[in-house]
Every structure is written in structure tokens, then in C-alpha cells.
A and B are shown apart, each in its own frame.
Chain A
């Protein structure tokens, strides 16, 4: 018996086990191999092939193809490469073609496939056409199977037993019921009643059940033998260049690189530039990547029909920024010679993996770029997908819904789950969370949490990777099945690791809000006031900008605005570009202690290399490992790794599932160090530093590229604060809420002008020392309404409220939102907001009565003299609509506690003392202490400034359930100073009333 038709959890919301669990189970049960046929996809292909490899099983690749809207399905097993391509095409049609019909679509694509089917009509049809097909009797000789067998005998069709299983083991049945409840929106009880899922059984069990039809069991092995295909082998699949064949690419790249170099450096290229260009071009040509560079260039700066190229603001990310060729092609934005970026980090002849150039575009231009790619490579391009797995919140929410718990109760609980959870059981670890202090976990919650835990790690659905695009020389549906994402783009069924494993070269085209910020801020600065030119602008050389960075006044600036980063800037106090490159790399989750050490060394603290073998490789970063490539360098220098091995170690550090491979590298590292007589303590210290690259980390080219954008942003903030802050908010902000940016703008001395239908644009805009709130900030306005408003205003200004309502026709919620946020105050001739609401009701009444003449604005009766609403009520409504207040901080409405209170601005005078502050919570960041306890860094503000605070585990435990951003608190704590940066260590907190 060879188990056919086994489904993994990639049969979404149906199967329960991962391919790895299934393979392990198949090996335990003594099977020689496994045929994984997930429903309508090949999402689990790479995980399956890997697991088969690990377990020593023979994989049979396949998928079940279902017909939408009915029960019919055909399981397709792949026999050869042609069959694989056909299966991919078939699955693509299944997802992308309306009216997909198995009878019509399968036969033309049946070459190289073996079909298993239960539908008599389809069986007869396929048999008539001479396709390889067998009647699938399933695992039990039930009545339906008996009838099917008789039918097959009459039509001379082979019959075969299949496992037809969704579970690896019987114990997974509750999970299967839960998945069914989620998929069909059933209650858990109903799902349990309806479902009878099959688990993978041992061979003897199938033989025993099907003892009356031994030939059907024997047939499984024959079919498996007919399917020797063990996975696709494409080699490296590069995107095709449309400008000519690969021979023409090398000279074309050389020409383009030199032309670009002259634009960047002037006609007289110095020796270093020419030398470096030649070296890079030689390497690129030798590795056969010339056309790849040209393809990327064509995507970034697309050729218009008139031969010109559109220049978009971009920023190269990843190691690509180390290439001078890329800089000259304007794919990247930082000069690798000036900042000493190491080309070999990007490309070297020893590397076997494909190059990887990732580009950031302004976030609102990215979709346009993608659309161009799909237009330029129709049928040859698709986006990479993300497999979205159940996370704690989603798992709990979905399970609780199946248990029928009311929405508010679910929300109440899931809102308290931070984005971290321990390795214990879900229920147990939640109950231990400080935020769950007063949470009611009475039945059925324990049962819900127990079941929800089983959902963790099960894929839920596919989503689109934020920017990964694959372009292939042959039609792309011959490589992998495609689906269509909600926004219409074609998506591969593999996520980025699968794509990489398949050898498909991915180009990341990502959206970056700050590029939009910089673009919009520059556009808003009138040419008369502009003191810099786009091509020669060197913000990193501007003294005022450096001071801004050194003071950590970089809220709103790309990549350096987080509280941790701003504290580090303050402590470093240098504000220069090289240090900023280091700082933006050294702040990573596992490197806290090295950050402290970096500051000490930067501020002149003494340091020694850990061992003589280290040489000068880390001198630039004060002997600390900061960049990804430092891992490679150290492994080579200390442990005698080859560059390829060192690179391997670097890559493993970035993977999630690395324990086994990391252990091997660790052994190699220590053995190598021992061979080279590196002191044991030094080796251990170095390994500890290597381990701090766990999670995310950056290479120097990436950091330099980002630091350049950071400096551009900081320059604009320093010299053109109104334009900059307007652009930051208009582009959707970054780390903070709009509320926090509005406060920052106010601290910069800018007035916040309320939204006004007479003046506001769609986006926020800068006026003389002020920001005008854009209409986009008014909650609830539809795009169509704002379009109509702007068009009507362009025709002629609004005369009064009636004229405005008549010409823009707002919906009820839109009119109310505009009134509540004060956008109609300017038209209302002194009428207070209650009276404006009355006018709106009066207008609607006239519309309802049908008395309104169609052509002219109605004459509204004067509103009754309603009393003006209380200032608190006005503020509350304005806050509800905008998310902030235009004329001040909401703290002023909160009850002031008695006793002495300090303001944030006064803190420098209180270092070392305890203070009480009435402040507003902006944002927070949870971290784990070494002992595994949770603590939090929180950012608060008052009218005078922002303050960073620390809640150590004990304080955090006591107060976590009270903490929610957007509320006022009374804090008590100790003011501390570290290298000029102030923080408050909080010991008590309470909510401020009202």
C-alpha cells in the first residue's frame, strides 16, 4: 500500500497536519513514500519535498483539483516535468478562469499526469479520451465505493484504494472540526456532528478494510511507480531582458553604467570610480548577471515610448547598494566609494545563489510600478505570496466565534494580547500575562484557548507579499500555480522561501512612506525658498541637520524616529552620517548590551580587540559586530571559514527555523577558533555577538542607503518644518499616530489650522508657520465625496452652509463629521455647532419633503437659538472625528491631581529625583528581560514635550491592565540620565479622570 491522496494543512481550513508531521507519521507507519495532494494548491510543495528528504520518503507530487460550485474533483499525480507544468497550468486555470470545468479543462493538460477520480461521468469521459485515470475507491468499501467499482469494471477502468485523509492522527479530529466550523461558519457543535474526517492509517488497516478488493490496494504501488517525479528542477531562473539577447546585455550594461557615472560624478571620472566600475562589470559579466541589472533598471526607470526614462525617487535596500554599477544606473542612492561599501558583500564569484536587488519606491507609486511590470511582462510575471498562519489573536477570535461567544467579549480578551507569547500553553501563558490581571477566563474560555492553541501555525489563507515580484522567461504558470489576489494581481502559491528554493529570482519592489514624504515636502517648498538642488544635495554635510540628529529631534524622520533610536542619537551626540549608519544597524532586538557598549566606546571609552586574530576587521565599528557581513568576516578571520561558509552562517542567522543548522555552525566555529589558537573566552564572546544577529539585522550597504534617506528627512524637518510635518502626516505617518505628529508639530511652533471646507485640500498642507488639516483626516468622508467637494469648490467658492450642502450632497455621517470637526464653522456665520447640526437636519427635512428645487440651493430657515455645546463635548466630538484636537492637547480636559506636578520640559532640572507627571500615553514597546520577564518602554507626552519611560517587570505587572495609548495618566517615577538622554523609571501610575 502506498498512501495516495493525503492532504496536509495546506488544504486550507480542511487538513490539520503539516507536511512535516505527515511525513514523520508516514515513516512511523512504515510507508516507503507519500503522495501529498492538497486541495487546489501546491503551497506545501517545498515543505513536503524537504520533509520527504529528511524522513527518507519517496515523494509523489500532486494536487486535488476541484470544480467550483460542486463536489466534483480530480486528484492529479505528477509523472514527469511536463505533467508538473500541466498541473501548474490546471491549478492556475482553476483559480483564475471563471466557469472552470473539469471535463473540458483536464484533457488538454493531462499529459504527464495520473488522474484519480470518483465521478462516473468524468471517469468515463477521461477513459474515452485515453487519459491515465483510475477510479478512486477511498479507504473503505462503502456502498458508494462498491457502486463505483462496478462502474469501473464495466468501463474497464482500474480501481485504486486511497487514504483520502485530512489528519495525520486520530487525535487531530477536534482541530479538524474547528477548521470546518471556521470554513463553513458553523458552530463547533454542528461541525462536530457533521464531520467524519479520515486519519492516515497503517497499511495493514487499509489491507484489512479492503480485504475483499486486494487489487485496489496493490494498484496504489503500481500508480506510485508510474510517478517517479520528485520535484521541479529549474536551476536559477533569471528575469528576461527585453532589450536583446544575453550577449548584447554586457555591452549595454557597460554603456549604461558609464553614462550614469558621468551623470553622478561629472565627465571626468576619477581613477577609483573607473577601477571600481571595471571590477564590478567584469564580475557581473562573468557571473552572467548583466541582463538582470538592466531588467531592474528598466523596472525602476521605465522607458517611455519617446525614449526618455521616468526618474522616480527610490532607495535601494539590501546589499545591492554596495554596487557602484547599481548606483550609476540610479537603482540605488548612496555612493559606495564614498561610504566604503564592500561590493563582494553583494556579488562574488564564490556565491551560487542569485543576486538580490531590492528597491523601495514611494508607497503611493509602488502599485503603478507593479502595474507596469505586469504590462511589460504579461503572463510572465507574478507576485510572491505570504502564507498567513493562525497567530494567537486570530486563532482565539476564530475559535471563540465557533463557540458562539459574543463579539465584545472576544474583543475584550484579544485586545489584551500583546504581540508576544511564551512557549507554554496558550491559556496558561495568557493567564500569566500582566495585561490579563482582571480578565475573566471562566468556561468555556479554557476550552476555547486549548483548542485555539492547536490552530497556531496552521495556514489560514494566502496574502500578497508586500513587494516580491518574479519574472520568468517562459510563461510563469509553467513554474508554479497562480492565483489572483483580491486586488487583482497574479500571485504565486509559494512564499519567498519556496520561490528561492525553486530558483526563481525575486525582485522586491517595496513601498516606502518616507520617499513620499520627501517628495511631497520638496514639492511644497517654493523654488524661491529652496536652498538645495536635487542632484547635488548633500544633507549629511549640513551642520544644522547634524545637530538635529545629535539631539534626537528626529520624530517623523525615516528610520530614526523610534524612541529607542532617538535615545541612542542623544546618547551618541555625534549626528554624523557614518555613526548614523552604525546606529541604525546596531539597534536590533538581540543586541541591547552591545548598544550600551557602543555608546561607551564612541564617547571615548577604552577598548581592545577580543583577540589578535581579529585584526582590524571591526575597527570601523569600535570592535563590535554591527553589520551582517561582520558575521562572515569574523567567521573567516577567527575560525578559518571559507567566504562561502561564512556567508552560509550569516544567512542561517536570518532564518526562523535554524536551531539544527546553527548548532552545526557553532561546532565548526569553535573548532576553527581552537585550531587557530583563539582564546576560548574570546571565541565565546564572539559567538555571543554572532548570536545577537538573531531575528533581523542589516548589512552596511542597506544601512547606508537608509541613513541617506534619514538625513534627507532630517534636513527637511530642520529647515522646512511645516512642509515636512504636513508631508509626514499626509503620507500616513510612520512609527507614531497622527495625534503624536500633531503634538510634535505644535512643539515645533506650528499652528494647527482646523479643517475647513473653504480651504482644506485633500491632504494636509503647509501654510505660513502652520499646518492645515486635510480633508483626508476627517473620519468617515468617502473619496467620492471629497472629489466632489474639491471639484465644486474649484467651480466657485461656497456661499454658505446651504450652498455647501446643496452642491456637495454629503451623506449623513459625512455632514455630521464635518460639523463636529469644525470644517463648516467658516461658512456658518457665527452659528454654533449645535445650530449647524440643526441646519443640516433642516436641509435633510427639505430634501425628504421633496420641496427642494433641483437647481437652486434651498433657503434654510434660521436655526433656533440653541445653546452652544460645552467645550468638553465639542472637544470630545472633534477628537472622535479627527483623532486629535486642533487647538490644544486633550490633557487640559482631564482632572488635575492635587499636589505638585512637574512638566516634561522641566525634567532636566530634576535628574536623580522623583517626579509626578500628568501625561498622555503615545506608544509602547514590550521587551523580555534576560530572565524571561516582560517589561515595557513607554512614550508619554504633555504639552511641553515627550518623555521616555521604563516600566520594570514588577511595575509593569501591576499596571499593564491599565495601559492603553490615547489616555491620560498620572505617573510617579525617578528621573535618570544616561549620556545626556533623560528617562523616567516609573514606580506608580493611575488613570486621570474624565
Chain B
């Protein structure tokens, strides 16, 4: 390992990874937790599953998504905490702010403590990339109390493999030109982006190391892996030109999720939660003067399978009632099994600004106009007092009203 990133020309990508992010954040919030294993999972629910766990608990056999009862049996010493997604999102934002000073090209994972930072050509501003790694680590340790792994490579793949290698703590620098040698002896399963079937095939062909994979030509790989041969050929040699995908580029999608602490297949409960998500989406859309023209509902079943269906609205929707109607439409088509649901995610995309145009013949559009005015009044009340103050009938407890 030599840290000779000369700076200006060579591509340099830093990967920061906070292992067991939720646990790390909780430990920052309460330092007494750092002395014992930790499980993050909804409390008070008989059928809760593990949301995140500390390294010690992982060592005892606990995994994400495992029934909490089993996890506590495997790791009886563990402290138990409910997940606080808001807190984790805040921590992500703080971390992001730390990184912002070094590069505009930052790709962030979804509330999981992963960041790629492209620091190519920043040598004059911030010094060598390696120094940035050390500096960020020092600063996050000091400011946020979090100790991230950091790795440096010429692309995302190499940096990611390196961080998988040093997990749960440490740093690793792969110098340019050394990628292939670095990867060759490693197990092929460390490569990111492999589908389950591809892993199985690699095992069946006795391709256990990255080096063994790298020895095959694209033509040979085409035989076994089809169009994926190019990707495999490139990553096995550490060739990775894929640019980072910073947030805010490309079409925006709003996402709202509910996790059922106790999975459920009760129609009323599911609808209630879904309506709450639709209302939440409505509040965001109206707050930003947007409408969405496509609503996607993604259901996560308790057995791990997923189903997703869409509902379209040509003119765009932003009102609670309208969004609820679209959500139910999607639900009717997505929910075809009896198996309980673990998660329910509402995605709003094809966003566009709300048209300020008034109808030409207001007397013909009296209904929609009235609904709009009513929605406006409700929003005002909610803003002035609190979110759950007024709701629509049969909403249940979801809105807190």
C-alpha cells in the first residue's frame, strides 16, 4: 500500500462508511451504550424485527431483519433501543455538511452512513486526498463523535471493496495502478453490485477470487454472464469510470415510508397508515407548490418479497383526498397476497409546479375549487397549530388527531 496520489490528474474517490450507522448514532447520543452490545428495533411489538445491530451482536449471529425475539435470545446481554430515523437522517446531514467543504461531487446512501466523495483535482485547495481522509475522520470524531472507516481508490468500486475489507474500523488506500493487484487475492464476494444468481454462478464455476475472474476475457465471460460480462471484466481489474451520482441531480422523487413494528395484514390498519403517508406527501407537495403525476406504492411483505404498483394522474395531484384515492388505487392492485406487510413506501415522482391557472368557467369546477379551498384552510390550521389538529374522517390514530 503506498499513498502516492499525486493529485491533479488521477481520479481519487474517498469512501466514508460508518459501520452499523444507527448504532453509531445512538452511541453518540448516549455514550453509556458504547460499553455493551446494542440492538435497534421497535419496542413493544411482539413481532418486531431487527433494524440495526452493533458489531458485537453481529458476532453473536444477529442479522438485520431477524425477528427480535430470536435476536435477544442469541444476544441476551444486548441493550435494546427503538429506531429513530429522524435522528439518523439528521446525523447524515451533519456528516454531509462536513464533507461539503471538500468537493461538490458527493454521493450519499439512504440513511446508512455511506458517502462517496470525488476529490479529483482538489489537491491545491485541500492538499492530498489522503489528508482529506484523515482530516474528515478527525473532525467527525471530534464534532459528531462518529468514527468512520475511510478508504481511497481511483473509483467507487475499489474504494468500496477496500472499506468492506477493513470493516468495522480502519482506513485503506489503494494507489492508482495497484487496483488489480489489490483485488486479485480477495474473495469475489467482496465485489459490489453482484446479484445473488451471479454469486451462485461464480461459485459454480469455481471462480472464488477476484483474480480468477480477472483472468477471463470478456468473450469468455459473455458465455457465462451475458451482457454483464463487461461490468465483471472491468470491476475484476479495478477499472471503474462510473461517475458519482450526487443528490439533487436528475428527476426528483419524494419518498415516504411506514414500517409496521408488528407486521400486519389488517386492511383497516394498512389503509390508515397509507392515508397518513398520502397526507404527509400532500403536505410536502403543497408546501413546495408541486403536484405529482405518478404515485408508486411499494409493499414489503414479511417474507421478504416486494410488490409495487403505480397510479397515474395526468393533471397532477397534491390534495390529501386525491392522493389518498391514488394510493388506494395502487394498493388494490399491489396487495394481492394474504401475507403480512412489514413496510409500505409511497413514492411521488413526475413532479411539476402547480399551475396557478384558474378555471375558465368556475361554475363548472365548483367541486374541485371548494376542495382546494378546504385543503388550504386545513393546511393553514395545521401550520398554525400542529400537524395532527384536523384530519379526514376514518383516519384513525395515524394522524395523531
Contacts and interface: CB of A to CB of B under 8 A. Distances in A.
A864 to B, nearest CB: 5
B340 A404 contact: yes
B338 A442 contact: no
B110 to A, nearest CB: 24
Interface stretch (A35-43, A414-422, A594-602, A867-875): A867-875
Q: 4 shortest A-B CB distances, which residue pairs?
A: A404-B265, A406-B303, A404-B340, A443-B46
Contacts of B266: 187, 189
Given A402-B338, A405-B340, A440 B70 contact: yes
A190 interface: yes
Given A189-B266, A869-B204, 4 more contacts: A404-B264, A438-B73, A866-B207, A868-B206
Interface residues of A, number: 35
Interface stretch (B51-59, B145-153, B218-226): B218-226
A199 B296 CA distance: 45
A187 B46 contact: no
A876 to B, nearest CB: 10
Interface of B: 46-47, 67, 69-70, 73, 203-207, 212, 215-216, 220, 222-224, 226, 262-268, 301-304, 338-340
Given A405-B340, A841-B223, A189 B267 contact: yes
B50 to A, nearest CB: 14
B223 A404 contact: no
A186 interface: yes
Given A838-B205, A867-B212, A404 B338 contact: yes
A478 B303 CA distance: 50
Contact of A189 (B67, B205, B268, B339): B268
B60 to A, nearest CB: 15
A842 B263 CA distance: 45
A489 interface: no
Interface string A312-356: 000000000000000000000000000000000000000000000
Interface string A867-897: 1111001000000000000000000000000
A868 to B, nearest CB: 7
Nearest to A402: B338
From B206, B226, B265, name the one whose CB has the most chain A CB atoms within 10 angstroms.
B206
B216 A864 contact: yes
Interface string A202-229: 0000000000000000000000000000
A841 B224 contact: yes
B204 A834 contact: yes
Interface string A854-870: 00000001001011111
B73 A187 contact: no
Given A406-B340, A407-B303, A842-B223, A442 B47 contact: yes
A442 B207 contact: no
Nearest to A185: B338
From B73, B223, B263, B265, name the one whose CB has the most chain A CB atoms within 10 angstroms.
B223
A866 B207 CA distance: 8
Contacts of B220: 864
B15 to A, nearest CB: 31
Nearest to A190: B267
Interface in A151-192: 185-187, 189-190
A838 B223 contact: yes
B69 to A, nearest CB: 5
Contacts of B212: 866-867
B272 to A, nearest CB: 13
A404 B205 contact: no
22 contacts: A187-B265, A189-B265, A189-B267, A404-B264, A406-B303, A406-B304, A407-B303, A409-B302, A443-B262, A444-B46, A444-B47, A834-B205, A842-B223, A861-B223, A864-B216, A864-B220, A866-B206, A867-B206, A867-B212, A868-B206, A869-B206, A873-B206
A443 to B, nearest CB: 4
Contacts of B340: 403-406
A404 B46 contact: no
A838 B338 contact: no
B81 to A, nearest CB: 19
A405 B215 CA distance: 47
Contacts of A185: 338
A531 interface: no
A9 interface: no
Nearest to B268: A189
Contacts of A403: 265, 340
A65 to B, nearest CB: 31
A868 B208 CA distance: 11
A845 interface: yes
B302 A404 contact: yes
B282 to A, nearest CB: 27
A864 B216 CA distance: 8
Given A404-B302, A406-B339, A837-B205, A440 B267 contact: no
A869 B208 CA distance: 10
Given A186-B338, A869-B206, A873-B203, A442 B69 contact: yes
Nearest to B222: A845
A868 B304 CA distance: 35
A408 interface: yes
A866 B208 CA distance: 10
B46 A442 contact: yes
Contacts of A861: 223
A404 B267 contact: no
From B205, B263, B268, name the one whose CB has the most chain A CB atoms within 10 angstroms.
B205
A166 B212 CA distance: 68
A636 B269 CA distance: 69
Nearest to B264: A404
Given A838-B205, A845-B223, A867-B206, A443 B303 contact: no
A404 B263 CA distance: 9
From A185, A404, A443, A868, name the one whose CB has the most chain B CB atoms within 10 angstroms.
A404
Contacts of B207: 866
Contacts of B268: 189
A131 to B, nearest CB: 43
B46 A837 contact: no
A957 interface: no
A870 B262 CA distance: 43
Interface string A125-152: 0000000000000000000000000000
Contacts of B263: 404
A443 B47 CA distance: 7
Interface in A391-425: 401-409
Interface string A461-476: 0000000000000000
A388 B302 CA distance: 31
Contacts of B205: 834, 837-838, 866
Contacts of A837: 204-205
A408 B70 contact: no
A215 B46 CA distance: 56
Nearest to A835: B205
A406 B224 contact: no
Contacts of B216: 864
A573 to B, nearest CB: 50
A405 B212 CA distance: 43
Nearest to B203: A873
B338 A408 contact: no
Contacts of A870: 206
Nearest to A406: B303
B99 to A, nearest CB: 40
Nearest to B219: A861
A440 B69 contact: yes
Contacts of B226: 845
Contact of A406 (B203, B262, B301): B301
B46 A401 contact: no
Contacts of A832: 206
From B73, B204, B207, B339, name the one whose CB has the most chain A CB atoms within 10 angstroms.
B204
Interface in A816-872: 832, 834, 837-838, 841-842, 845, 861, 864, 866-870
B348 to A, nearest CB: 27
Contacts of A838: 205, 223-224
